[in-house]
Amino acid sequence: MYVIRLADGTLRVPRSLTSEDGRLIGNAYVDVVPGDPDYDRWLKESLTEDELAERRGRWQEGDEELEREFLAFKTEHAGQVEAGQVTAEQEQEPERG
């Protein structure tokens, strides 16, 4: 989760809510506005919505090849997985050529 800087300057800051014993209850964003005591600290880490979209786009570049490799591996080992015959070595990522 990232700190998102909106056009009006508001920051959307990720927060997690946990139970007393440390279990995660949920994740959410809270708005931090200019003038808030924590604003300057979070501003340094923030990304605009456009910057975040661009970053996500870069992550997805090249995913097609990885997905093809995964689907080929999955198809190749489908019968073994269903029968419970896959060894720990076979569960490793397929080798890249």
- Written as one string, the DSSP assignment of 34-92 is TTSTTHHHHHTT-EEHHHHHHHHHHHHTTHHHHHHHHHHHHHHHHHHHHHT---TTTTS
Kindly state whether residue 85 falls inside one of the protein's structural domains.
Answer: no
pLDDT over threshold 90, residue 76: no
With cut-offs at 50, 70 and 90, classify the pLDDT of residue 10. very high
Kindly state whether residue 68 falls inside one of the protein's structural domains.
Answer: yes
Kindly state whether residue 88 falls inside one of the protein's structural domains.
Answer: no
> Looking at residue 65, what is its pLDDT?
80
> Looking at residue 8, what is its pLDDT?
96
Kindly state whether residue 31 falls inside one of the protein's structural domains.
Answer: yes
pLDDT in tens, 15-63: 998 899 989 899 899 999 999 999 999 999 999 999 999 888 877 776 7
Residues of the domain holding 39: 4-78
Based on the structure, what is the number of domains in the chain? 1
Kindly state whether residue 93 falls inside one of the protein's structural domains.
Answer: no
